[in-house]
A = this chain, B = another copy of it.
Amino acid sequence: MEINKTEITEWFKTLQDQICAGLEDLDGTGKFQQDLWEREGGGGGRTRVIKGEIIEKGGVNFSAVHGPISKQMAATLKLEEGSFYATGVSIVLHPKSPMVPIIHMNVRYFEMSTGVWWFGGGIDLTPHYVVPADAQIFHQHLKNACDQHHPTYYPEFKKWADDYFFIKHRNETRGIGGIFFDHLTDKTGISKAERFAFVKSVGEAFVPAYREMVQRNISKSYGEKEKNWQALRRGRYVEFNLVWDRGTKFGLDSNGRTESILMSLPPVANWVYNTPPEAGSEEEKTLNFLRKDIDWLAMTV
């Protein structure tokens, strides 16, 4: 039997519940607060935000929206007119400690009244300080999730993430990448059930992968220098999300719920004119890692 949108939507809701429970457990102190909202054109969402001991500002959003497709959406997505249904879970977590990475995940499903459908999503990690051994562990989590489903998924979607999470005007990647995928259909002979199973594996990989990133770094000490660097790197995160991220732009252009879309922005960000890090510093080492096509798994760490 064909997977339907109700089944997918229910699974995304459950995923949101599971991830929120997992993150509350990881944080130890913070509890998610929920806002339910409705979209004027149809549908709505459950926005959940947390302010905790480890997570300074985080959001885990579920939404399921529908309605007639706007001319702008039709043009952007190269679709015929009709009505759409879109559902997904989006997460961004900004940790308090600069030694712990920022993380982002999105899994989504889109379908049209014309019968067109696809899955998309991704997970990527933005360490304020890149630690190659951690990058390797993180990518191994993602590769494990991918390899359960198709041998080309990890290499293909890893490259896609390098290209997508790229701050062109800085000539820097946003972080150490991860996986990104979009428009996954059944046209190449992979069934809808199998695509859905893959998306489930991605969603389920999130908490264990981030838990390990937190546990490996949370006890590291830091001071003003590291907090200042974190504020600058958070500025870069803002630049990526507002200038280049297609999801953010699409949301803002299509009258999405602004507060839910922009929950991805950090609590604080700094901009200082033209101050490259000192030669040989940890900050400079991190910058040198912010480039495409690094094979983290093949690196000797």
Residues in chain A within 8 A of chain B (CB atoms): 35, 49, 57, 59, 168-170, 231, 235, 238-239, 242-243, 249, 252, 255, 258-259, 261-263, 265-274
Contacts and interface: CB of A to CB of B under 8 A. Distances in A.
A266 to B, nearest CB: 7
A49 B249 CA distance: 30
Contacts of A274: 35, 49, 259
Contact of A242 (B238, B259, B272, B273): B238
Closest 9 A-B residue pairs measured CB to CB? A242-B242, A265-B271, A169-B252, A259-B274, A169-B258, A49-B273, A242-B243, A268-B270, A269-B269
Given A242-B243, A268-B231, A268-B268, A273 B252 contact: no
Count identical subunits in the complex: 2
A300 to B, nearest CB: 34
Contacts of A268: 231, 268-270
A273 B269 CA distance: 15
A92 to B, nearest CB: 11
Contacts of A270: 267-268
Contacts of A243: 242-243, 249, 252
A71 B47 CA distance: 42
A231 B267 CA distance: 10
B259 A267 contact: no
A170 B257 CA distance: 10
Nearest to A37: B274
B57 A265 contact: no
Nearest to A276: B259
A267 B273 CA distance: 9
Contacts of A272: 267
A262 B271 contact: yes
Contacts of A231: 268
Given A57-B271, A168-B252, A259-B274, 19 more contacts: A49-B274, A169-B252, A169-B255, A235-B265, A238-B238, A238-B242, A238-B269, A243-B252, A259-B273, A263-B273, A265-B271, A266-B271, A267-B270, A267-B271, A267-B272, A268-B269, A268-B270, A269-B269, A269-B271
A264 B265 CA distance: 18
A260 to B, nearest CB: 9
A249 B274 CA distance: 19
A81 B47 CA distance: 48
A239 B59 CA distance: 19
A265 B234 CA distance: 13
A266 B238 CA distance: 12
A272 B94 CA distance: 12
Nearest to A274: B259
A273 B57 contact: yes
Nearest to A168: B252
